[in-house]
């Protein structure tokens, strides 16, 4: 490797997570157990008990690309939305979304390449191409315009050797989304220059604050039918099953898939057979629709609590309200200037046992997003209420102190 | 990536495996189900049912490095053998042994480095360092001396920039083992030059034909206490649980572990929570000892059947009998010259539905090991008997034909 940066958010959560009573650093919807998953079945559902046959199945490696049933159910997720869905054969199962991103970059990007990455986003997405020696340009969202992205700026970043544009929609850490018309413009640009798009749709379809009737509600980028696209996603965020380690990558292009299958062979043989079967069970009706509906309701209710806290402290807390994902990016200021977000998080943890993610450290390479914290609000509502109370007490005590 | 070679054995098995009635391309011991695993518990074993609590556990990400219980049980595997065992904290869980190897190379090897790799071995082990741009030298085992390795030759391969020596013990595809005194000599050499050793011990401790009293029976290379060592292993081969995707890497050196933890964060967050708990269950007494004893018995019985077949055809089949692993590397000759192993395997599959692994394609880069096939004999004995009968019929028909 040319270099591997410290993966700041992973390090942060590993270091501080175990000590936190109120963990608002998490980025997923409240986890359910397998029993709870089973209870989402209906009386006339033949699959009510996924266990009996699973426990009696010899634990061999299973199918290399993932089971047909799971890949078909994932294909159905996309075909519900538009006719441009990938077939089951165009889907490759991975043990989580991270490895799907890893494989896509590892398979397709090399040292002579240029890669453009939407920013801010999950550190993996810009550190991976830099790690394999590619040149990386950041396509920066506009903080003062609700994290809007300007496609004209993207055009200006394209070079003759631009191999890949990496997107993240919905966006970690802001919880915003790239609207449909802008996705179309990005696809048109990529098509014109024959650039591969890798779109991390890890939080898809958790659009809690964009009506289904909104013409700008973003579909999966697969739906535009551009061949040169890879989409990655996972069971971890929207489906309450982070511990079932199933992610996937999908592409319309058999050549891309073939390169990814080969790269994947260097990292794993197959995924967990129990997880594969349970994921297929979770992603089939009626459980699928129930899970999403349940989590949309949870996240909307929780978002209202966070918004109320922010509204009570307008001079010190600002954000662009997230429209998707159970996370948001809050800017904390004091006398109009950003606070030291790392110091703030450390003291908040020490004094109130609340864990947040410091923005400058985990998203800004220590330079950008000073004063920002990522707050996850996907936990059970009562847990969130307690955590927000502790956070609010800290804010009140903190801001009662004179500036040093 | 500088380049990613086609992973030949993965491609071979993915392409041909689904069509084979008799799959002797597999490299692991006959798989058992979770129910069978549970049945290995004893009446006074408090853990008899691992399910009740597991199914009621919320499926969150779980501990980043893997559960304490699993890491402790893995530590115990090594401490049973020698006092130099890694502590639970020195063990990092991965979804299979492949990713453990991947992470070790990705974290520690770069383009300016030189790496020495024992050969023949699993393609991943030399293709990975080449893929990150390192220079790779192969340390070749001597075909005519029972695949013995010459440490003087290894000395001659060391350069000022040699970063890593990659070993594989027991060896895939030969089923041989590096004896203890030779391991000690390798460790001494690596210590002298401050070279990191990565040892793939994926088949450990499946020594079916080396008595425990043999002073040359190899321990884990961790037992020599050299700090600069990484060992990788897995539940897949020796423990009949390939579908429970749990592997690990272990090192005495906290700095190495820290680099691996960071590299791992780019590829995954945690492993399957169900697999983690089941692996901890499998690797605790009494199941652990029963599984190993059962598989040693199975593999010895099966090895005898393969040896009988070879003994019936001494002019066309030769091998160095494997002493560990459920695989062996058989050389097929015709009139004293090696057969075309790829063509042989293709026709054997077509005519008798038996799948073997062609040596030159999957281990020799199309150049070395012509005439060799890897034969896996870890399946149930009756299955093996049928497969060997089909193979023998093919041999008899094949060799009855005149040379073209």
* Confidence bin at B42 (pLDDT 50/70/90): confident
* Confidence bin at A46 (pLDDT 50/70/90): low
> Scanning the structure block, which residue is given the tokens 């790269």?
A263
The pLDDT of A363-373, averaged and rounded, is 97
What per-residue confidence (pLDDT) applies to B377? 98
Q: How far apart are CA B283 and CA B291, in angstroms?
A: 9
Cβ proximity of B25 and B356 under 8 Å: yes
3-state helix, strand, coil in chain B (%, to 5): 40, 15, 40
Q: Which residues pair with B355 in a beta bridge?
A: B23
For residue B56, give the chain A residue with the closest CA. A33
Residue A1 has pLDDT above 50, yes or no: no
Structurally, how many domains does chain B consist of? 2
What per-residue confidence (pLDDT) applies to A2? 46
Closest partner residue to A59 (CB to CB) among B7, B55, B242 is: B242
* Confidence bin at B229 (pLDDT 50/70/90): very high
B87 part of contact set with chain A, CB < 8 Å: no
B128 part of contact set with chain A, CB < 8 Å: yes
Q: How far apart are CA A231 and CA A197, in angstroms?
A: 8
Residue A53 has pLDDT above 90, yes or no: no
Angle (CA) B80-B188-B322 rounded to 5° is 60
SS3 A23: strand
For residue B125, give the chain A residue with the closest CA. A266
What is the pLDDT of chain A when averaged over all its residues? Answer: 94
Residue A274 shares a structural domain with residue A323: no
Which residues of A fall within a CB distance of 8 Å from B102? 266-267
A95 part of contact set with chain B, CB < 8 Å: yes
The token pair that represents B87 in the structure block: 């502590």
Please state the φ and ψ torsions of residue B333, each to the nearest 5 degrees: -125, 160
Q: Which of A231, A256, A286 is the last residue of a domain?
A: A286
* Confidence bin at B41 (pLDDT 50/70/90): confident
What pLDDT, in 10s, does the model give residues B346-381?
Answer: 999 999 999 999 999 999 999 999 999 999 999 999
CB contact under 8 A, A242 and B60: yes
B50 in any annotated domain: no
B282 part of contact set with chain A, CB < 8 Å: no
Please state the φ and ψ torsions of residue B267, each to the nearest 5 degrees: -115, -25
> Alpha helix (H) ranges present in A220-320?
254-265, 273-282, 287-312
Taking alpha carbons only, the member of A124, A111, A150 closest to residue A5 is A124
Range of weakest confidence among A38-47, A279-288, B282-291: A38-47
A308 part of contact set with chain B, CB < 8 Å: no
Taking alpha carbons only, the member of A288, A287, A259, A230 closest to residue A91 is A230
The sign one gets for the Cα dihedral A141, A142, A148, A149 is negative
What pLDDT, in 10s, does the model give residues B304-336?
Answer: 999 999 999 999 999 999 999 999 999 999 999
Which residues of B fall within a CB distance of 8 Å from A111? 2, 133
Residue B217 shares a structural domain with residue B252: yes
What per-residue confidence (pLDDT) applies to B206? 96
Which residues of B fall within a CB distance of 8 Å from A61? 28, 236, 242-243
Residue B106 has pLDDT above 60, yes or no: yes
CB contact under 8 A, B11 and A263: no
CB atoms inside a 10 Å sphere around CB B128: 26
Residue A305 shares a structural domain with residue A261: no
B360 in any annotated domain: yes
Q: Which residues pair with B62 in a beta bridge?
A: none
- Which DSSP letter does residue B169 get? S
- Which DSSP letter does residue A328 get? E
Question: Torsion angle, CA of A193/A196/A199/A200, rounded to 10 degrees?
Answer: -140
Residue B154 shares a structural domain with residue B128: yes
CB contact under 8 A, A59 and B243: yes
A49 in any annotated domain: no
Residue B101 shares a structural domain with residue B249: yes
* Confidence bin at B225 (pLDDT 50/70/90): very high
What per-residue confidence (pLDDT) applies to A305? 98
What pLDDT, in 10s, does the model give residues B170-210?
Answer: 999 999 999 999 999 999 999 999 999 999 999 999 999 99
B112 part of contact set with chain A, CB < 8 Å: no
A39 in any annotated domain: no
> Scanning the structure block, which residue is given the tokens 């998080």?
A345
Q: How far apart are CA B155 and CA A200, in angstroms?
A: 47
Residue A267 shares a structural domain with residue A294: no
A14 part of contact set with chain B, CB < 8 Å: yes
3-state helix, strand, coil in chain A (%, to 5): 40, 15, 40
For A67-78, b where at least 16 C-beta lie within 10 A, e where not — what string?
bebbbbbbbbbb
Range of weakest confidence among A98-112, B45-59, B262-276: B45-59
Tally A–B CB contacts below 8 A: 210
What per-residue confidence (pLDDT) applies to B218? 96
B99 part of contact set with chain A, CB < 8 Å: yes
Q: How far apart are CA B326 and CA B303, in angstroms?
A: 8
The sign one gets for the Cα dihedral A379, A200, B103, A116 is negative
Q: How far apart are CA A178 and CA B209, in angstroms?
A: 62
Best residue in A13, A70, A268, A281 to probe B by mutation, most B CBs within 10 Å? A268
What pLDDT, in 10s, does the model give residues A80-139?
Answer: 887 789 999 999 999 999 999 999 999 999 999 999 999 999 999 999 999 999 999 999
Burial classification of residue A17, based on how many CB atoms lie within 10 Å of its CB (0-12 exposed, 13-18 middle, 19 or more buried): middle
Cβ proximity of A203 and A324 under 8 Å: yes
Residue A152 shares a structural domain with residue A263: yes
Q: How far apart are CA A190 and CA A227, in angstroms?
A: 11
B295 part of contact set with chain A, CB < 8 Å: no
CB atoms inside a 10 Å sphere around CB B193: 13
Which residues of A fall within a CB distance of 8 Å from B265? 7, 10-11
Range of weakest confidence among B47-61, B63-77, B262-276: B47-61
Measure in Å the smallest separation between the Cα of B397 and chain A Cα atoms.
Answer: 33
Q: Which domain, by its residues, includes B315?
A: 8-33+289-397
CB atoms inside a 10 Å sphere around CB B305: 16
At B252, which CATH number? 3.40.640.10
Q: How far apart are CA A5 and CA A76, in angstroms?
A: 37
A282 part of contact set with chain B, CB < 8 Å: no
Closest partner residue to A111 (CB to CB) among B2, B11, B98 is: B2
Which residues of A fall within a CB distance of 8 Å from B272? 95, 243-245, 271-272, 274-275
B352 in any annotated domain: yes
Q: How far apart are CA B132 and CA B113, in angstroms?
A: 10
Q: How far apart are CA B212 and CA A236, in angstroms?
A: 45
Taking alpha carbons only, the member of B122, B218, B129, B125 closest to residue B171 is B122
What per-residue confidence (pLDDT) applies to B2? 46
The token pair that represents B123 in the structure block: 């393609």
Measure in Å the smallest separation between the Cα of A131 and chain B Cα atoms.
Answer: 9
Which residues of A fall within a CB distance of 8 Å from B273? 243-245
B258 part of contact set with chain A, CB < 8 Å: no
For A331-341, b where at least 16 C-beta lie within 10 A, e where not — what string?
bbebeeebbeb
What is the pLDDT of chain B when averaged over all its residues? Answer: 94
* Confidence bin at A79 (pLDDT 50/70/90): very high
Please state the φ and ψ torsions of residue B168, each to the nearest 5 degrees: -145, 110
The pLDDT of A201-230, averaged and rounded, is 96
Residue B264 shares a structural domain with residue B327: no
CB contact under 8 A, A98 and B64: no
A190 in any annotated domain: yes
The token pair that represents B361 in the structure block: 């394609």
B25 part of contact set with chain A, CB < 8 Å: no
Measure in Å the smallest separation between the Cα of A92 and chain B Cα atoms.
Answer: 13
What per-residue confidence (pLDDT) applies to A402? 57
CB contact under 8 A, B245 and A31: no
Q: How do beta strands B114-119 and B135-140 pair?
A: parallel
For residue B11, give the chain A residue with the closest CA. A262
Which residues of B fall within a CB distance of 8 Å from A295? none
B74 in any annotated domain: yes
Widest CA span of chain A, in angstroms? Answer: 66
Taking alpha carbons only, the member of B240, B204, B246 closest to residue B378 is B240
A161 part of contact set with chain B, CB < 8 Å: no
At A381, which CATH number? 3.90.1150.10
Q: Which of A237, A271, A286 is the last residue of a domain?
A: A286
Q: Which of A224, A259, A286 is the last residue of a domain?
A: A286
Residue A220 has pLDDT above 80, yes or no: yes
Residue B3 has pLDDT above 70, yes or no: no
Residue A246 has pLDDT above 90, yes or no: yes
CB contact under 8 A, A269 and B236: yes
Q: How far apart are CA A171 and CA A202, in angstroms?
A: 9
CB contact under 8 A, B262 and A10: yes
Which residues of A fall within a CB distance of 8 Å from B107? 1, 4
Residue A3 has pLDDT above 80, yes or no: no
Residue B271 shares a structural domain with residue B159: yes
Which residues of A fall within a CB distance of 8 Å from B6? 262
CB contact under 8 A, B10 and A102: no
DSSP states of B186-202: HHHHHHHHT-EEEEE-T
Which residues of B fall within a CB distance of 8 Å from A271? 95, 245, 272
Taking alpha carbons only, the member of B141, B194, B143, B134 closest to residue B169 is B141
Residue A101 shares a structural domain with residue A181: yes
Q: How far apart are CA B205 and CA B192, in angstroms?
A: 28
* Confidence bin at A35 (pLDDT 50/70/90): very high
Task: Report the half-sphere exposure of B404 (CA within 13 A, side-chain side).
Answer: 2
Residue A403 has pLDDT above 60, yes or no: no
Residue B243 has pLDDT above 80, yes or no: yes
* Confidence bin at B45 (pLDDT 50/70/90): low
Question: Torsion angle, CA of B153/B158/B163/B164, rounded to 10 degrees?
Answer: 10
Best residue in B200, B243, B270 to probe A by mutation, most A CBs within 10 Å? B243
A83 in any annotated domain: yes
Residue A186 shares a structural domain with residue A94: yes
DSSP states of A41-77: S-TT-TTS--HHHHHTS------TT--HHHHHHHHHH
CB contact under 8 A, B266 and A102: yes
* Confidence bin at B404 (pLDDT 50/70/90): very low
What per-residue confidence (pLDDT) applies to A45? 66
CB contact under 8 A, A269 and B55: no
Residue B161 shares a structural domain with residue B243: yes
């Amino acid at each position: 490797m040319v270099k591997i940066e410290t993966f700041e958010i992973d390090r942060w959560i590993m270091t501080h997570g175990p000590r936190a009573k109120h963990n608002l650093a998490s980025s997923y919807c409240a986890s359910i157990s397998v029993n709870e998953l089973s209870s989402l079945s209906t009386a006339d559902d033949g699959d009510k008990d996924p266990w009996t046959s699973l426990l009696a199945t010899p634990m061999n490696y299973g199918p290399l690309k993932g089971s047909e049933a799971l890949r078909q159910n994932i294909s159905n997720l996309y075909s519900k939305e538009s006719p441009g869905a990938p077939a089951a054969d165009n889907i490759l199962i991975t043990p989580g979304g991270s490895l799907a991103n890893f494989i896509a970059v590892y398979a397709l990007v090399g040292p002579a390449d240029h890669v453009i990455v939407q920013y801010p986003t999950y550190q993996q997405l810009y550190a991976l191409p830099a790690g394999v020696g590619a040149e990386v340009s950041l396509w920066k969202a506009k903080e003062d315009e609700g994290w809007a992205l300007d496609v004209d700026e993207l055009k200006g970043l394209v070079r003759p050797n631009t191999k890949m544009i990496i997107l993240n929609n919905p966006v970690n850490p802001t919880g915003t989304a790239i609207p449909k018309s802008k996705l179309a413009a990005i696809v048109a640009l990529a098509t014109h220059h024959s650039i591969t798009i890798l779109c991390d749709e890890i939080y898809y379809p958790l659009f809690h604050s964009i009506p289904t009737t909104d013409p700008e509600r973003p579909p999966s980028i697969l739906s535009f039918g551009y061949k040169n696209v890879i989409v990655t996603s996972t069971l971890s965020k929207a489906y309450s099953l982070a511990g079932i380690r199933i992610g996937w990558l999908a592409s319309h292009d058999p050549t891309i898939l073939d390169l990814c299958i080969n790269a994947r062979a260097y990292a794993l043989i197959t995924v967990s057979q129990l997880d594969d079967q349970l994921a297929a069970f979770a992603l089939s009706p009626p459980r699928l629709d129930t899970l999403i509906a349940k989590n949309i309701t949870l996240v909307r209710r929780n978002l209202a609590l966070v918004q109320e806290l922010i509204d009570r402290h307008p001079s010190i807390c600002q954000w662009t309200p997230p429209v998707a994902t159970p996370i948001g990016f809050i800017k904390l200021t004091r006398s109009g200037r950003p606070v030291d977000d790392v110091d703030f998080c450390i003291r908040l943890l020490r004094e109130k046992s609340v864990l947040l993610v410091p923005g400058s450290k985990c998203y800004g390479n220590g330079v950008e997003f000073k004063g920002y914290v990522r707050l996850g609000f996907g936990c059970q509502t009562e847990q969130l209420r307690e955590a927000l109370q502790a956070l609010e007490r800290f804010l009140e005590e903190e801001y009662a102190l004179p500036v040093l």
